[in-house]
């Protein structure tokens, strides 16, 4: 956000009036010139974006933001959000962008320090929607306790009229006592999920298919810094691996886990926290809840014997009340992720192929 915050165009005897003071009624939509980097871009930032996001890191509006010095290891992450629709039960693209990037930092064991925010707005987006999304970004950032420190705003030609893409990046600091390392996982380690599965993806799909009012499912998008901090407070080596099961769902995380450890994974279908509403919506849409994105949950691997302590820590946090142990890592050749079904069968869990859920985040 390179533009300056000052609106003062009074230059004394040479007063310059190049723009109307406010946009006329009926012009309350984004136009291409809002993205040109000139006076109109500055006005968009000054009037609609900066007032909602302001903080002392962002305020200088330089080419970048200077952050406080850090002592731990820096961690950098980024996510591009192309979700459709941009507003859905339980959140919008703004909340999602903040939570997703914060969560990518916290599963690395990092304390989030600052976010960057890049908006690519489609010509024709209403100011009303933009205002709601920017407000939602501000609220989620406040909830996560992390400032939007810098940003960029561009405008592209109209394609579908409802478009807004957001890319967030985040910087965090990993304290020296964090020992997350997938290579520390051994057979017998327990797999925990911190709450009910598949709500984000199904809420968005239901909204897209106009099932919104009936499904009763809301996105779980939430910043998980507090929950993860509580888990890590269980002691240095207890938690060995954390991941947020977003695109690709729990199945994608378990597939990664198998590949990175060369161990098998065995989960119990009965233990999976899936609500009745999710089960019904998933059936209706022809989706497997294991493959569906979550935006407010953590999959953790913890040392055998420590799982009750970690579960208690999770359940004491509002975002981890439904935490459960769903299975364990096992020595197996070949290493596979498998689910023991309710009737005692075994099903191999594969990474989703990828066509089920486009534009879910």
Map the footprint of a copy of itself across residues 111-170, applying CB under 8 A. Answer: 113-114, 116-120, 149-157, 159-160, 165, 167, 169-170
List all residues 6 or more positions away from 284 whose beta carbon is below 8 Å from its beta carbon: 211
Minimum separation from the CB atom of position 26 to a copy of itself (A): 19
List all residues 6 or more positions away from 311 whose beta carbon is below 8 Å from its beta carbon: 192, 323, 324, 325
Minimum separation from the CB atom of position 320 to a copy of itself (A): 19
Q: Burial, 92: exposed, middle or buried (Cβ in 10 Å; 0-12, 13-18, 19+)?
A: buried
Q: Which stretch binds a copy of itself (CB under 8 A): 30-38, 279-287, 305-313, 321-329?
A: 30-38
In the complex with a copy of itself, the residue whose CB is nearer, 76 or 316, is 76
Minimum separation from the CB atom of position 54 to a copy of itself (A): 16
Residue 327 CA to residue 89 CA, distance in Å, equals 31
Minimum separation from the CB atom of position 216 to a copy of itself (A): 25
Q: List b or e across 32-60, with b for residues whose CB sees 16 or more CB atoms inside 10 angstroms.
A: eebbeeeebbbbbbbebbbebbeeebbee
Of positions 29, 48, 52, 73, contacts a copy of itself by CB under 8 A: 73
Of positions 80, 139, 271, 284, contacts a copy of itself by CB under 8 A: 80
The gap from C-alpha 147 to its chain's centroid, in whole angstroms, comes to 15
Q: Which stretch binds a copy of itself (CB under 8 A): 39-47, 130-138, 186-194, 228-236?
A: 39-47
* Measured CA distances, 5 to 61, 62, 137, 248 (Å): 8, 11, 20, 41
Check binding of 36 to a copy of itself (CB under 8 A). yes
Other beta carbons less than 10 A from residue 21's beta carbon: 7
DSSP 194-261: -S--SHHHHHHHHHHTT-HHHH---------HHHHHHHHTT-TTTEEEEE---TTHHHHHHHHHHHHH
In the complex with a copy of itself, the residue whose CB is nearer, 150 or 194, is 150
Minimum separation from the CB atom of position 266 to a copy of itself (A): 14
In the complex with a copy of itself, the residue whose CB is nearer, 308 or 341, is 341
DSSP 172-188: EEE-TT----GGG--TT
Residue 237 CA to residue 235 CA, distance in Å, equals 6
By CB under 8 A, the count of residues binding a copy of itself is 104
List beta partners, residue 91: 88
Q: Which stretch binds a copy of itself (CB under 8 A): 62-70, 223-231, 271-279, 322-330?
A: 62-70
Check binding of 283 to a copy of itself (CB under 8 A). no
Of positions 62, 142, 304, 316, contacts a copy of itself by CB under 8 A: 62
Residue 44 CA to residue 311 CA, distance in Å, equals 46
Q: Which stretch binds a copy of itself (CB under 8 A): 9-17, 138-146, 184-192, 306-314?
A: 9-17
Q: Name residues contacting a copy of itself, limited to 232-271 (CB under 8 A).
A: 243-244, 246-248, 252, 256, 259-260
In the complex with a copy of itself, the residue whose CB is nearer, 321 or 347, is 347
Q: Name residues contacting a copy of itself, limited to 184-213 (CB under 8 A).
A: none
Check binding of 179 to a copy of itself (CB under 8 A). no
Reference 152, options 142, 136, 165; nearest CA is 165
């Amino acid at each position: 956000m390179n533009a300056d915050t000052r609106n003062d165009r009074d230059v004394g005897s040479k007063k310059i009036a190049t723009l109307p003071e406010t946009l006329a009624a009926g012009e309350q939509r984004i136009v291409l010139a809002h993205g040109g980097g000139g006076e109109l871009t500055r006005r968009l930032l000054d009037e609609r974006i900066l007032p909602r996001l302001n903080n002392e890191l962002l305020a200088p509006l330089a080419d970048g933001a200077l952050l406080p010095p850090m002592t731990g290891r820096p961690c950098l992450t980024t996510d591009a959000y192309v979700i459709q629709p941009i507003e859905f039960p339980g959140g919008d693209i703004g909340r999602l962008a903040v939570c997703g990037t914060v969560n990518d930092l916290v599963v690395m064991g990092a304390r989030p320090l600052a976010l960057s925010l890049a908006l690519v707005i489609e010509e024709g987006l209403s100011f009303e929607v933009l205002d709601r999304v920017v407000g939602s970004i501000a609220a989620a950032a406040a909830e996560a306790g992390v400032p939007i420190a810098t940003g960029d705003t561009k405008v592209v030609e109209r394609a579908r009229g409802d478009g807004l893409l957001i890319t967030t990046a985040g910087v965090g600091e990993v304290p020296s006592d964090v020992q997350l390392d997938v290579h520390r996982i051994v057979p017998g380690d327990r797999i925990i999920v911190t709450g009910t599965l598949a709500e984000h993806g199904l809420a968005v799909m239901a909204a897209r298919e106009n099932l919104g009012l009936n499904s009763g499912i809301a996105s779980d998008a939430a910043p998980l810094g507090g929950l993860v901090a509580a888990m890590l407070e269980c002691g240095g080596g207890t938690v060995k691996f954390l991941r947020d099961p977003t695109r690709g769902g729990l199945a994608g995380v378990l597939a990664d886990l198998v590949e990175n450890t060369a161990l098998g994974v065995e989960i119990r279908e009965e233990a999976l926290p899936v609500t009745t509403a999710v089960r019904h919506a998933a059936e209706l849409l022809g989706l497997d809840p294991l493959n569906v994105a979550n935006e407010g949950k953590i999959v953790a691997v913890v040392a055998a014997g420590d799982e009750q302590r970690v579960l208690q820590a999770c359940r004491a946090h509002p975002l981890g009340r439904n935490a459960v142990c769903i299975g364990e890592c096992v020595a197996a050749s070949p290493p596979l992720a498998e689910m023991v079904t309710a009737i005692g069968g075994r099903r191999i869990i594969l990474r989703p192929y990828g066509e089920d859920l486009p534009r879910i985040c």
